[in-house]
Amino acid sequence: MSKPFTPKVVTANALLEGDVIYLTEADTWSRKIGEAEVIEDAAHGDLRLLLAQSQPDQVVGAYLADVQITDDGPQPTHFREEFRTRGPSNYAHGKQVELS
């Protein structure tokens, strides 16, 4: 018996800046996980991942990441993904500067 599909988002890194980005329902990329399209079907997830992977001039390393649905939108369920939402860890730049 296969494991039930859990909600996911498509995530990758922006090719030029390296920032963590998320695929939106409008086929655009956002740096905010709250704007990501939540995928609740495995076949749809495969199609969205193929779309992301077909954009090598914009993104690198696209994959599906598990999320949970909250009142604030999708939130990561794994530490690695939570860590990626905060931006680089070596010094304050990108998302970390915005929070200061």
Q: Which residue ranges make up each domain of the chain?
A: 8-99
Q: Is the pTM of this model over 0.85?
A: no
Q: What is the pLDDT of residue 80?
A: 82
pLDDT of 86 strictly over 90? no
pLDDT > 90 fraction of the chain, expressed in percent and rounded? 63
β-strands 20-23, 59-70 pairing: unpaired
Q: What is the pLDDT of residue 92?
A: 60
CA distance 39 to 24: 10
Q: What is the pLDDT of residue 78?
A: 87
